[in-house]
């Protein structure tokens, strides 16, 4: 069983935990979307039990934690979840999401998007028949981060397809500022066309998108255009996920950062946090990833990111300083 979304994890708990107390605090360790281990205690007993569990998890670098609190009082739940977050981060463990379940509803304590996680919560019941359990994964909290931006192991044949796709690309243009502007504008449009639609040729798209985003001005132009495409962001994120999984190492920071920037436009804080961590792991000096990292660390609202992109004209993105 793989977990794709907060609601799916909550629905899966009866298969994992035999009895859930009314004041329970459940910590689930996920590795590549699968449940590795879990801890169930009453909230008042968690402090005395957490250390051994966190120490065991800290030895597995691919594990992320999700905490689910069943305390009815929202302030008590917030305190309990925040204490856990601090303890986990002190132990060097990545926290994917903090979920509060109350009166048959749930919400992510890390998500600031009211349309995604309203104060009154989302219903815990199953999705309507015919709707995939994972369909919400691009618009809820952060749990989907366990499935996103993970690298694929390529076969020798796939490695060769990737190599051929990069070799087939035209040489980067050189010329006057106006010629470079036209090239960048065309590159932005081509990247968006690929990211907004089903990838017919993933290797060709990988090469074209990777090389285009490597140019900082094209990258900024793409993000500026994505700002205007509310209804297409889910498709863009899904395709960026696919391309990141097969991307050569030198292009991963740019793809992960564009993923983060797109996610942050909708205020998905924890998902953005995960993508930035991935980007900085690929390239610790990647400037836009570091900028977004600083904003998240200091609690800057995502609206500031939206406003900063809105304030810069698209043409300025392509022609201005990197």
Report the DSSP pairing between strands 63-69 and 94-102.
Answer: parallel
Give the chain's end-to-end CA distance (angstroms, integer). 44
Distance CA 239, CA 212 (A): 15
pLDDT, one tens digit per residue, over 23-43 is 788 888 877 667 778 888 786
Structure confidence at residue 287 as a pLDDT band (50, 70, 90): very high
- When the pLDDT of each residue in the chain is averaged and rounded to a whole number, the result is 81
pLDDT, one tens digit per residue, over 78-88 is 888 888 888 88
Q: Which residue has the higher pLDDT, 188 or 151?
A: 188
> Which residue ranges form the domains of the chain, and what is each CATH number?
6-140 (3.40.140.10), 156-319 (no CATH)
Residue 55 pLDDT greater than 70, yes or no: yes
Distance CA 151, CA 172 (A): 27
Instruction: Please return the burial class of 127, using the count of CB atoms within 10 Å of its CB with bins 0-12, 13-18 and 19+.
Output: middle
Q: Which residue has the higher pLDDT, 36 or 161?
A: 161
CA 166 to chain centroid? 27
Scanning the structure block, which residue is given the tokens 């219903």? Answer: 123
Contact 286, 254 (CB under 8 A): yes
Can you give the pLDDT at residue 32? 66
Can you give the pLDDT at residue 131? 31
| pTM of the predicted structure, to 2 decimals | 0.59
> And the tokens for 234?
């889910």
Taking CA atoms, 294 is separated from 26, 46, 290, in Å, by 30, 31, 6
Can you give the pLDDT at residue 90? 87
Can you give the pLDDT at residue 87? 87
Q: Which residue has the higher pLDDT, 312 or 91?
A: 312
Contact 124, 11 (CB under 8 A): yes
Question: Got the DSSP string for 100-159?
Answer: EEETTEEEESS---TTTS-TT-EE-SPPPTTS-GGGGTTSSTTGGGGTSS------HHHH
pLDDT, one tens digit per residue, over 190-200 is 999 999 998 88
Residue 92 pLDDT greater than 50, yes or no: yes
Q: Which of 213, 177, 172, 178 is nearest to 192 (CA)?
A: 213
The proportion of the chain whose per-residue pLDDT surpasses 90, expressed as a percent, equals 34
């Amino acid at each position: 069983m793989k977990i794709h979304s907060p609601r799916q994890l909550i629905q899966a708990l009866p298969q994992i935990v035999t009895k859930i107390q009314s004041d329970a605090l459940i910590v689930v360790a996920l590795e590549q979307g699968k449940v590795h281990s879990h801890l169930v205690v009453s909230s008042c007993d968690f402090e005395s039990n957490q250390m051994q569990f966190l120490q065991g998890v800290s030895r597995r670098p691919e594990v992320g934690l999700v905490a689910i609190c069943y305390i009815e009082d929202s302030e008590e739940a917030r305190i309990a979840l925040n204490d856990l977050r601090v303890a986990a981060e002190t132990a060097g463990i990545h926290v994917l999401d903090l979920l509060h379940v109350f009166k048959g509803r749930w919400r992510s304590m890390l998500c600031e998007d009211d349309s995604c996680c309203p104060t009154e919560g989302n219903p815990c019941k199953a999705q309507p028949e015919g709707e995939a359990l994972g369909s919400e994964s691009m618009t809820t909290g952060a749990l989907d981060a366990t499935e996103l931006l993970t690298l694929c192991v390529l076969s020798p044949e796939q490695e060769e397809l990737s190599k051929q796709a990069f070799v087939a690309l035209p040489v980067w243009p050189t010329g006057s500022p106006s010629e470079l502007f036209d090239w960048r504008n065309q590159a932005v449009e081509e990247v968006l066309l690929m990211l907004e639609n089903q990838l017919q040729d993933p290797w060709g798209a990988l090469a074209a998108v990777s090389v285009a985003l490597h140019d900082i001005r094209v990258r900024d132009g793409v993000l500026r255009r994505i700002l205007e495409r509310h209804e297409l962001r889910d498709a863009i994120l899904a395709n960026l996920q696919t391309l990141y999984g097969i991307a050569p190492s030198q292009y991963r920071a740019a793809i992960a950062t564009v993923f983060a920037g797109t996610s942050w436009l909708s205020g998905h804080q924890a998902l953005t946090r995960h993508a930035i961590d991935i980007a900085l792991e690929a390239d610790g000096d990647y400037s836009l990833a570091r900028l977004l990292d600083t904003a998240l660390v200091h609690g800057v609202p995502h609206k500031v990111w939206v406003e900063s992109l809105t304030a810069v004209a698209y043409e300025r993105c392509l022609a201005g300083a990197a």
